[in-house]
Structure 1
Amino acid sequence: MSAKLFKVLIVIVCLLISNCLAVFFLITSSQQQQQQQQQQHVSTQDVNTAQQLVSRTIKNLARRDGNIALTINQQQLDAFMSVASYAIPSAEFSGAINPFGVSLHGNILLPIAWFKRSIKLSCLFTPYSSGFAINHCQLGKLYLPSWLANKLFYQLVRFAVTSPADQQLLDLFAKGELKNNSLSFFAKNLGPISLKLQPKLYQPLNLLNTNQAKAADIEFYLLQLQALHKRFPAERRLAFFSHQLLLIATERAEHTSLDSAYHDALWALAVAFANKRFIHYANPNLTTRQIPRMPAMLIHGRRDLSLHFLYSAVLQMLGTTELSQQVGNLKEIMDAGGNGSGFSFADLAADRAGTQFAARINTISPVQLNHFSSEQFETVIMPSIKGLPEGLTEQQVQQQLGGYNGDKFKQLEQEIMSRIDGLSLYRDTNNVQSEGL
């Protein structure tokens, strides 16, 4: 075969593949009529109900006697779907439980601004003599029969959850029953089920290498934090340690990239000062026992703001800015309930600041870092919280701000982002130098 003919065949094959993909895309997607997801209603009760459902489920799965009993009713399903829709504004989820089966629906807006199409997925789950299973699914106009839908579902569970919990979950799922308009799962001697996600889920670019760490050099930075604490035993400002560790990262960058050094340092801050369990995401080759004991850190003299900052930074590194922000909102919506501390825009400012710090850390140059002292660093990573409302009940949010989607609520969110965008650390180097810092 001549080289010219071979090239022609390659072009033809590529055209056929692209045409098949285009047809598949048109079959599985539809024209987006309106972005209803951005107005998704969610309440404190929804968040609390969903949180309690997840908490009870995990606790029940871990029962030492192995006897598992789970039940979900329509109210709980609605709450869970509302929270999921709010957490992912580009998606809308719903579900219904009836005596004949459980139907779940999802509508995901494709992230293409000029091409407004969405993908709709719906599945019907029904009881069979062989056990509870998927009756069928539909992806756009594409019909997925029971055998194919269940096969894909089983593979998804095994892809996401480590063994033996994957098979335990599938065995429990098969025992599903519909009773009194609720979906129940009962099993004896099945557990305890220890839920652990596959490490490769945290390495989306390296799915074949499950041992690769997000922060391969984190142990070095944890030791540096421990040394800094010994040198400054009375220091409790998160910004102080953040600045010192990033300066160390700039020196460490001689042996690795600056981006990697920065992110390893940020992971170390989150593991040391927020939650030791973050080490499982940062570097699965290490354990919590290897994390040095460190004191609580503060932002603006408050422990809660420090935790909000670091947790949001981790969510940004694991997911997206949008997800990190929405999870921060959900936490405050839950606090707005009668037993919570109230909706706090100061907490929200710390959430947004942590998210932006993680998202923009690669843009920070060593020159900028050297322009600020460790005492000044808090003022360039965290905005002022002066004038931001705190302790609001859900009723006050509704009455004073028009609800969580109200204009006044969004104005306060925009005010927070304006304050963050105005932080000196995120301006260009010339502006920072002109300030004479």
Structure 2
Amino acid sequence: MKTLLRLLFACLATVLLFCAVLVFFGVSDTPDVALKWSLTPADIMRAKKILHEGSKTKPDEIGTLELTRADLNLATNYLLNRYSKSAVNISVKENKLKFIVTATLPENRLGKYVNITFRLGNEDNNPLPSLTKFKAGKLLLPSKLAELVISKVIEHTSLKDYFILATHPIEAVRIDADKIVITYHSNRETLAKARDLLTHGTEKTALNPYQQQLLDVLAHHDPNWRLSLAELLKPLFALAYQRSTLDTAIEENKQVIFTVNDYVNKEGQQALPSHLLDATSIRQTPTFLYKRIDLAQHFIGSATITASANGQLAQMMGEEKELSDAKSGSGFSFVDLTADKAGTRFGEVATASPESARKLQKIMSEITHYRDFMPDPTHFPEHMNEAEFKKRYGSIESPIYKKLVKQIDAQVAGVAIYKTQ
């Protein structure tokens, strides 16, 4: 028994020591990879195409995916920047993938960035790559120890389900000088688990407190009147203010935003599961801002992207959507773009810090109108097809375009809720 306890404590000490070394040597005020990498609309479209390539393979079939080094860098940077301001540089050397990763840290006394370098390669004819080298900053650490500790951290954290779903379908990875070939096999069970996990992983038969609050709002809403986005956000943030502490405020705000977005945009798991709606007299009611459904969708959609990823990505996706609409849709709209920008700012304030999160909860629980968080954008130009947009503004890099965007930014910044932050 004593031997077992000693072994357990030795393993724990090894993990703690490894983490301490990682923090001490990996954290720095200087990034190893410049964080100037930015997504263009073309980058976003290409990254999405790469990441959705696997969906072409039917369940229970073997599929292959070929990626160039440029593809791998683009897709990885796109994913990383959904969660924090980060950058990765991936290169191929001697049939091994070398990753240099820099991630921005929350404000702390140790440093602004964490820098990690590692290599993946196929050893002993293994079809799946393993960790062959690992560095925290400039300190080289044993790859086997790093691999063991990383696997233990994943196994005992919320990353476990995501890691299994990401790696379990992969049968083999071949690393060539000019491309990486991934062979994968996804069965129906894996795809079902992925769908459930990526829609917040909640039970389909249960309501979280914010879903229940939203249900109560709909139950008391007069169907003869438009449903304002403020009518959803105000009571849900009031509930968040009651439930939260300083430590939990950011997560509670995210749940509010995710719940409202699921209802307004009807994407992924519904905020109100259909079987619960069927059992009541409550019906799905469109949500409005300035008498427009699309503005509510743009606002809360951008807030959701920002709360779960980052503001830069939300803004670029907003511009990409408007450029796409100019080609084949309702046309480029600075009105929609204003809603995107306001939603992005809202998501930033909701999750910037525990203090900011708590302050927003209190303010939102006392609002009287959606003007308190969304400026009136209806005077801005919209419904421009591609030809008209190019004639009037040239491109999103032109001075006249940037001047109008600056006016939109100023109008958003002038809203009282954002002034106080």
Q: Distance in 1 between matches of 2:241 and 2:174?
A: 60
What CA distance in whole angstroms lies between the structure 2 residues aligned with 1:20 and 1:185? 31
Match of 1:277 in 2: 268
Of the candidates 235, 255, 276, which is equivalent to residue 290 of structure 1? 276
CA distance in 2, matches of 1:423, 1:303: 21
Distance 2:118 2:18 in 1: 24
- 1:387 corresponds, among 362, 375, 380, to 380
* Residue number in structure 1 paired with 2:26: 28
- State the percentage of identical aligned residues: 16
Q: 1:255 to 1:297 in 2, by over 3 A?
A: closer
Instruction: Describe the shift of the 1:389–1:235 C-alpha distance in structure 2 as closer, same or farther (beyond 3 A).
Output: closer
- Aligned residues of 1:46 and 1:82 also touching (Cα < 8 A): no
Contact residue 238 and residue 297 of structure 1 kept, 8 A: yes
Gaps of 5+ in 1: 1-17, 204-209, 429-437
Q: Deviations over 1:309-368 (max 9, x none)?
A: 11233345545xxx14522323423653585657654333212323444526313176x4
Match of 1:354 in 2: 343
Superposed, 1:199-238 pairs within 5 Å as 216-229=208-221, 231-238=222-229
2:165–2:194 contact (8 Å) kept in structure 1: no
Whole-angstrom CA distance in 2 between matches of 1:132 and 1:324 = 35
Q: Which residue of 1 aligns with 2:314?
A: 327
Post-superposition shift, 1:106?
A: 1.2
When structure 1 is superposed on structure 2, of 413-422 and 49-58 the one drifting more is 413-422
Alignment partner, residue 88 of structure 2:
93
Q: Secondary structure at the match of 2:122?
A: strand
Q: Deviations for 1:225-264, whole angstroms, at most 9, x for unmatched residues?
A: 33244x224525434x33xx626975x7998679799887
How far apart are residue 114 of structure 1 and its match? Answer: 8.4
Deviation at 1:51, TM superposition (A): 0.7
Report whether the alignment pairs 1:68 with 2:57: no
Find 2:45's aligned residue among 23, 44, 48.
Answer: 48
Q: In 2 relative to 1, CA 398–80 (structure 1 residues): closer, same or farther, beyond 3 Å?
A: farther
Q: What is the rounded CA distance, in whole Å, between the counterparts of 2:226 and 2:197 in structure 1? A: 35
Letter in 2 for 1:130: N
> Shift of the alpha carbon at 1:294?
1.0
In 2: Cα distance, 1:253 partner to 1:103 partner? 44
Shift of 1:422: 2.3
Q: 2:134 aligns with which of 133, 137, 141?
A: 137
Contact 1:97–1:103 (CA<8 Å) still a contact in 2?
yes
Partners of 2:188 and 2:241 in 1: CA distance? 49
Between stretches 349-358 and 262-271, larger displacement belongs to: 262-271
Which amino acid is 1:119 matched to? V
**Within 1, Cα distance between the matches of 2:181 and 2:164?**
18
Matched AA of 1:67 = I
Contact 1:172 1:185 in 2 (8 A): no
Q: Which amino acid aligns with 1:93?
A: V
Report the equivalent of 1:363. Answer: 362
Q: TM-score if structure 2 supplies the norm length?
A: 0.68
CA distance in 1, matches of 2:40, 2:122: 32
SS in 2 for 1:135: strand
Give the TM-score taking structure 1 as reference length: 0.66
Contact 1:68 1:191 in 2 (8 A): no
Q: Is the 8 A contact 1:44 1:333 kept in 2?
A: yes
Measured after TM superposition, the shift of residue 153 of structure 1 is 5.0
| 1:170 alignment partner, one of 147, 167, 172 | 167
Count of residue pairs the alignment pairs up: 376
Aligned residue runs from structure 1 range 178-197, under 5 A: 178-179=175-176, 181-187=178-184, 193-194=190-191, 195-196=193-194
Shift of 1:52: 1.2
